[in-house]
Amino acid sequence: MKQHTAVLSLVNYSSGSLAWGLSRFVIGKYSLKNIPGLEFFKILGSGQNGGFQLRPSLRKQGLLCVFDTPENALAFREKSDLIKLYQDHADEFFCVSLQSYSSKGTWSSYSMNVTQDAPVEGPIAGITRASIKWHKAPKFWSKAPPAEDSLNHTKGCILAAGLGEAPYLRQATFTIWESQLAMDDYARSGAHLEAIRNAYQGAFFSESMFTRFIPINPLGTWRGKKYA
């Protein structure tokens, strides 16, 4: 089995680099051709202020790349010209490598291999994504503000970013937590639990994926906070 390793990058573009940043949505895929071991990627937008708002941000983006081996993921992260370009155009840049210990569902028909045992302690990360049925979107989004507010005030959440590959209908959330217990406490209580129950009971999604990871070497700055 391939030892899938993901690299997630978050970028906040400098004011002079907005055109370059927006061009990623149109021509960014060509920069990802012929990268050794790259199996899957998504160029992602973000909500205003890096959250889950309907209003998109012009400055904040994400890039998710999944590689066949940890070695190819590390080489991309540390040596690729593309990562250097993102850093050169950014006021803030954050990057983390991810190896899955639990994954359910698919993203554009792609599924992540589980390559790690569940950790006994220490930080974990999660990606939740969904393709929302268009006629269910208004009800789904009515639940988003309380869930985001709850997340922003939840103890144990180290980082949270709202991401999406298409406004309104194809959304994702990336989080890092102090522990699996902290993530579980959030997921099983309050506004988030209500939102998830409504989503699945109402069959809001045409496709979804929920993956938990061990984060490896989170490094950089996101929304004013430094990570080392």
Q: What is the mean pLDDT of the chain?
A: 88
Instruction: Tell which residue, 118, 108, 95, 73, has the closest CA to residue 214.
Output: 118
In a domain, residue 154? The reply is yes
User: Is 226 part of a structural domain of the chain?
Assistant: no
* CATH classification at residue 143: 3.30.70.100
**pTM for this prediction:** 0.90
Task: Return per-residue pLDDT of the chain as tens, 228 residues.
Answer: 789 999 999 999 999 999 999 999 999 999 999 999 999 999 999 987 777 777 889 999 999 999 999 999 999 999 999 999 999 999 999 999 999 999 999 999 999 999 999 998 999 999 999 888 887 777 766 666 556 666 767 889 999 999 998 877 888 999 999 999 998 888 776 555 555 565 555 577 889 999 999 999 999 999 999 998
Are 100 and 211 within 8 A, CB to CB?
yes
* Rounded Cα gap, residues 177 and 183, in angstroms: 6
Q: Specify whether the CB–CB gap between 175 and 50 falls below 8 A.
A: no
Q: pLDDT tens across 38-95, in order?
A: 999 999 999 877 777 778 899 999 999 999 999 999 999 999 999 999 999 999 999 9
Q: CA triplet 77, 79, 84: central angle to 5 degrees? A: 80
How many distinct structural domains can be found in the chain? 1
Instruction: Give domain status of residue 128, yes or no.
Output: yes
Tell me the C-alpha distance between 1 and 19, whole Å: 40
pLDDT of residue 138: 74
Range of the domain at 57: 5-220
For residue 225, being part of any structural domain is answered with no
The Cα–Cα gap between 223 and 93 comes to 10
Q: Is residue 228 part of a domain?
A: no
Instruction: Give a yes or no: residue 207 inside a domain.
Output: yes
* Joined tokens for residue 168: 């309104």
User: Residue 149: inside a domain, yes or no?
Assistant: yes
